[in-house]
């Protein structure tokens, strides 16, 4: 729903500097294991990962997709096996292939990246993003807190951060486990109830760093009836977008159903709109936007329901303002 801003050169350098040497050491250790060394093709994969380590850690979204396509073409057995991710009891399980996939997963180890508080890791990355609202849905806050609280005698640490979604799931694409542009802060609903380990390539979703501006809009059904008060249960929020990746995003994240939960907020906004739309003075009408919407123009991306409320207010204005 919101296109994220590309990282600065300083952030890219910080990510590479913090992780490159440790990742290369892990790569050497993991691919020195006998169970990995004996597997045909493992050495070629190791050389590729070593050669492209900078890009795998801090490459832009187009580079990450290029790595996926390379694995799909040149290391097909690895690509297919990682996508399938068979368990030990599954007939498709192969211990040699599993050992190589596990070695790559352990090399690009997100669990280790997620733990540091004082050095570069998940907490510092979320803080660098500085996002307030989930970019997938624009419905929920993604609170970040990391500071000591209490007195000197009884110090507690308030630590809270949103999940970092692996846009390309790390169990499907383990070489992207700590790729900077593959780690997206989002709400728990989007991450843990909807996205899970689903592959965005299979669903043809737009990448959050490539999400097209102005690709969708909100309105309400039967807007001509909104010239008078309506009940919340009479409101149905509509999405307008062209078929393709953006429409897939709307459907994938169940946005019509989830936005339907907020018809009471839209009803409240509509009630305020009617109050100011019928105001007798020019000044009151001029203040209508500021009184109806609880945020400044253009700041909808930083408010829950922001895009939705801005669009519906604009549709009211187009329909009823004279």
pLDDT at 285: 64
Mean pLDDT over 288-292 rounds to 85
CA distance 6 to 15: 14
Which of 74, 67, 264 is closest to 174 using CA atoms? 67
Which of 276, 208, 283, 280 is closest to 246 using CA atoms? 208
Helix (H/G/I), strand (E/B), else coil: 232 = helix
CA distance 182 to 260: 30
Which of 51, 93, 97 is closest to 70 using CA atoms? 51
Which of 163, 158, 114 is closest to 135 using CA atoms? 163
Could you tell me how many residues make up the chain?
Answer: 322
Write the pLDDT tens digit of every residue in 257-286: 999 999 999 999 999 998 887 666 666 666
Which of 206, 180, 245 is closest to 3 using CA atoms? 206
What is the pTM for the complete model shown? Answer: 0.91
Residue 220 and residue 234 in contact, taking contact as beta carbons nearer than 8 Å: no
Q: Which residues make Cβ contacts (< 8 Å) with residue 17, sequence separation at least 6?
A: none
Write the pLDDT tens digit of every residue in 49-95: 999 999 999 999 999 999 999 999 999 999 999 999 999 999 999 99
CA distance 40 to 99: 12
pLDDT band at 321 (very low <50, low <70, confident <90, very high): confident
Write the pLDDT tens digit of every residue in 113-146: 998 888 999 999 999 999 999 999 999 999 988 7
């Amino acid at each position: 729903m919101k296109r994220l801003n590309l990282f600065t050169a300083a952030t890219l350098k910080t990510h590479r500097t913090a992780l490159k040497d440790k990742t290369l050491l892990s790569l050497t250790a993991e691919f020195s294991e006998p169970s990995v060394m004996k597997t045909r093709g493992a050495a070629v994969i190791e050389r590729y990962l070593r050669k492209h380590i900078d890009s795998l850690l801090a490459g832009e979204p187009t580079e990450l997709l290029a790595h996926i396509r390379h694995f799909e073409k040149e290391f097909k057995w690895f690509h297919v096996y990682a996508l399938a991710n068979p368990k030990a009891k599954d007939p498709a399980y192969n211990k040699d292939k599993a050992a190589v996939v596990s070695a790559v997963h352990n090399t690009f180890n997100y669990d280790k990246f997620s733990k540091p508080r004082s050095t570069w890791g998940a907490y510092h990355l979320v803080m660098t993003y500085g996002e307030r609202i989930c970019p997938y849905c624009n419905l929920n806050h993604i609170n970040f807190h990391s500071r000591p609280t209490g007195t000197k005698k009884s110090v507690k640490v308030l630590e809270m951060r949103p999940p970092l979604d692996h846009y390309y799931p790390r169990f499907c694409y383990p070489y992207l486990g700590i790729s900077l542009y593959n780690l997206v802060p989002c709400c728990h609903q989007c991450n843990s109830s909807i996205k899970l380990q689903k592959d965005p390539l299979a669903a043809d979703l737009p990448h959050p760093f490539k999400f097209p501006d102005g690709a969708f809009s909100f309105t309400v059904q039967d807007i001509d009836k909104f010239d008078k008060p309506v009940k919340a249960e009479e409101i149905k929020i509509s999405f307008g977008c062209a078929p393709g990746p953006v429409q897939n995003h709307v459907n994938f994240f169940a946005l019509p159903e989830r936005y339907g939960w907020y018809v009471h907020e839209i009803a409240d906004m509509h009630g305020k709109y009617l109050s100011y739309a019928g105001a007798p003075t020019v000044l009151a009408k001029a203040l209508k936007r500021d009184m109806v919407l609880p945020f400044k123009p253009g700041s909808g991306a930083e408010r829950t329901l922001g895009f939705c409320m801005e669009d519906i207010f604009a549709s009211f204005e187009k329909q009823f303002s004279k």
